[in-house]
């Protein structure tokens, strides 16, 4: 009986398994280094699991930027709509939020994962946890570290779905990179995506404002501009708006060594009007009161102006209005990869055929976040993991049929 190993029990590996257990007469073995599968998937469900997005497919595909040509065809086979239908098939309903984002009705991942693992086991998938893949033996067998020592398993096809390099405590530690690189597989360096940034705040600002949201605000970097909110941390910035702009900010930082996010702290007000209002006599008003009354700026926004502008600008209405509309916030570094929501970089698509099989390692397929793509939050991460996992499962099936 042909044996398929799926290494990595996250959404990409599990959906690949689902495709393979549907075929009679083959053994599907799922290995994971952790004591249970799907730990990061469960984490993704903590704050409300945004599983996909309801926007038109062409817009959806556009979110994958320079990788849309490779991810697009996979999404056409198993995209947002098929994913929703698949979830419904597990007895879990979904709803579309006001932003167009799609969530399971209960917002959580746990009921979905429970039903899914149950169905996979019922269909014959065998789970082997606490099995850390270490690479290949000389005879091609898969090597695993287990609590009882090292073990080797020979299989007919392998799907690697090992995840990215963030949240190592949930299993996705990127330790697979040297294993593939040693076999000559091109792997783009793993980098933080949807990540926070370090800012050199003064001790005073950090103590006073860490944990506070900045909203509403428009942030821009290069030609990207977006409205939303973000949070001040003790050493930097994080949150939705920062994550959305993190890819260009990270890339500029990497290329030039410095990068600046520009903030419009008063998105609803024109600069000229702000300048006129701020030029009105201040009388005995403090600067804080003047800013609040004339520009609607207070709290953390006022704190940002004091932190980032020279004192003379704070008293020059024209310059202050210009700064409120385009305040430069220099960032000094990305937060470490392990803290990021997702990972950019990974196995190069050029190393894979259209079935996601490694051209130089026939019978070995790759799927999920370990591939070299990135996308913003909004359900795009999970949807691409499902689409690539599904494609790798189908590819392995075709491979087994052709070699068996």
In 3D space, the residue among 189, 221, 132 whose CA is nearest the CA of residue 343 turns out to be 189
CB of 225: closest distance to ligand FAD in angstroms? 23
Q: At closest approach, how far in Å is the CB of 40 from ligand FAD? A: 4
Which residues of the chain form contacts with ligand FAD (CB under 6 A)? 7-13, 31-34, 37, 39-41, 43-44, 49-50, 132-133, 161-163, 167, 171-172, 175-176, 341-342, 368-369, 379, 381-382, 385
DSSP H or E run through 197: strand 197-198
CB nearer ligand FAD, residue 169 or residue 204: 169
Q: CB neighbours (10 Å) of residue 184?
A: 10
* Cα–Cα distance measured from residue 141 to residue 137, given in angstroms and rounded to the nearest whole number: 5
Nearer to ligand FAD, 40 or 250 (CB): 40
Closest separation between CB of residue 112 and ligand FAD, Å? 12
Structure tokens at 77: 């086979």
Residue closer to ligand FAD by CB (options 101, 294) is 101
The least distance separating ligand FAD from the CB of residue 272, rounded to whole angstroms, comes to 41
d(CA 63, CA 237): 23
Structure token pair of residue 195:
């990540």
Whole-Å CA distances, 389 to 230, 255, 303 = 32, 33, 46
Contact in structure between 358 and 348 (CB atoms under 8 Å): no
In terms of CB distance, is 37 or 196 closer to ligand FAD? 37
Please, which residue, 266 or 366, has the CB nearer to ligand FAD?
366
CA terminus-to-terminus distance, the chain = 10
Compare residues 107 and 322 and give the one whose CB is closer to ligand FAD: 107
Residue number, 144 or 209, with CB nearest to ligand FAD: 144
Q: Are residues 350 and 186 in contact, defined by beta-carbon separation less than 8 angstroms?
A: yes
Question: Residue 340 Cβ, how far from ligand FAD at the closest point, in Å?
Answer: 8
Minimum Å gap between C-beta 325 and ligand FAD is 32
Task: Enter the tokens of residue 212.
Answer: 């506070």
Report the distance separating Cα 243 and Cα 47, nearest Å: 15
Q: Rank residues 238 and 369 by Cβ distance to ligand FAD and give the closer one.
A: 369
Considering the complex, what minimum distance in angstroms separates the CB of residue 89 from ligand FAD?
A: 19
Task: Provide the minimum distance between the beta carbon of 380 and ligand FAD in the complex, in angstroms, as a whole number.
Answer: 6
Name which of 173 and 264 has its Cβ closer to ligand FAD: 173
Please tell me the distance from the alpha carbon of residue 295 to that of residue 324, in angstroms, as a whole number. 9
366/353 Cα distance (integer angstroms): 10
* H/E run at residue 243: helix 240-244
Tokens of 299: 């709290």
* Distant-in-sequence, close-in-space partners of 385: CB < 8 Å, separation ≥ 6: 10, 11, 12, 15, 367, 368, 369
- Measured from the CB of residue 152, what is the shortest distance to ligand FAD in angstroms? 14
- Rounded Cα–Cα distance for residues 247 and 225 (Å): 13
């Amino acid at each position: 009986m042909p044996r398929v190993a799926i290494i990595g029990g996250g959404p990409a590996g599990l959906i690949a398994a689902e495709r393979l257990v549907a075929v009679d007469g083959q053994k599907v073995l799922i290995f994971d280094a952790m004591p249970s599968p799907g730990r990061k998937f469960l984490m993704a469900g903590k704050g409300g699991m945004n599983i996909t997005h309801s926007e038109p497919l062409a817009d959806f595909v556009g979110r994958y930027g320079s990788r849309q040509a490779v991810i697009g065809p996979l999404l056409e086979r198993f995209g947002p709509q098929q994913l929703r239908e698949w979830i419904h098939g597990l007895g879990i309903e979904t709803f579309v939020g006001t932003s167009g984002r799609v969530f399971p009705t209960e917002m959580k991942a746990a009921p979905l994962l429970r039903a899914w693992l149950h169905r996979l086991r019922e269909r014959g998938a065998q789970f082997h946890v606490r099995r850390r893949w270490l690479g290949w033996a000389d005879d091609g067998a898969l090597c695993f570290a287990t609590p009882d020592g090292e073990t080797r398993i020979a299989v007919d096809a392998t799907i690697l779905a090992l995840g990215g390099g963030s949240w190592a405590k949930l299993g996705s530690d990127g330790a697979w990179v040297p294993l593939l690189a040693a076999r000559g597989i091109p792997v783009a360096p793993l980098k933080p995506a949807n990540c926070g940034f370090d800012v050199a705040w003064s001790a005073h600002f950090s103590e006073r404002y860490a944990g506070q949201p900045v909203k509403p605000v428009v942030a821009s970097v290069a030609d990207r501009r977006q409205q939303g909110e973000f949070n001040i941390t003790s050493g930097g910035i994080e949150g939705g708006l920062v994550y959305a702009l993190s890819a260009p900010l990270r890339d500029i930082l990497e290329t030039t060594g410095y990068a600046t996010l520009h903030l419009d702290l008063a998105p609803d007000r024109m600069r000229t009007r702000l300048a006129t209002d701020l030029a009105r006599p201040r009388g005995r008003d403090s600067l804080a009161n003047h800013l609040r009354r004339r520009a609607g700026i207070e709290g953390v926004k006022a704190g940002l102006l004091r932190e980032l502008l020279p004192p003379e600008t704070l008293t020059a209405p024209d310059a202050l209005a210009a700064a409120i509309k385009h305040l430069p916030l220099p960032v000094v570094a990305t937060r470490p990869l392990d803290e990021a929501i997702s990972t950019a970089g990974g196995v190069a698509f050029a190393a894979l055929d259209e079935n996601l099989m490694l051209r130089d390692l026939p019978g070995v397929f790759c799927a999920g976040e370990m591939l070299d793509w990135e996308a913003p939050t909004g359900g795009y991460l999970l949807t691409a993991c499902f689409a690539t996992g599904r494609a790798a499962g189908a590819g392995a099936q075709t491979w087994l049929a052709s070699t068996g």
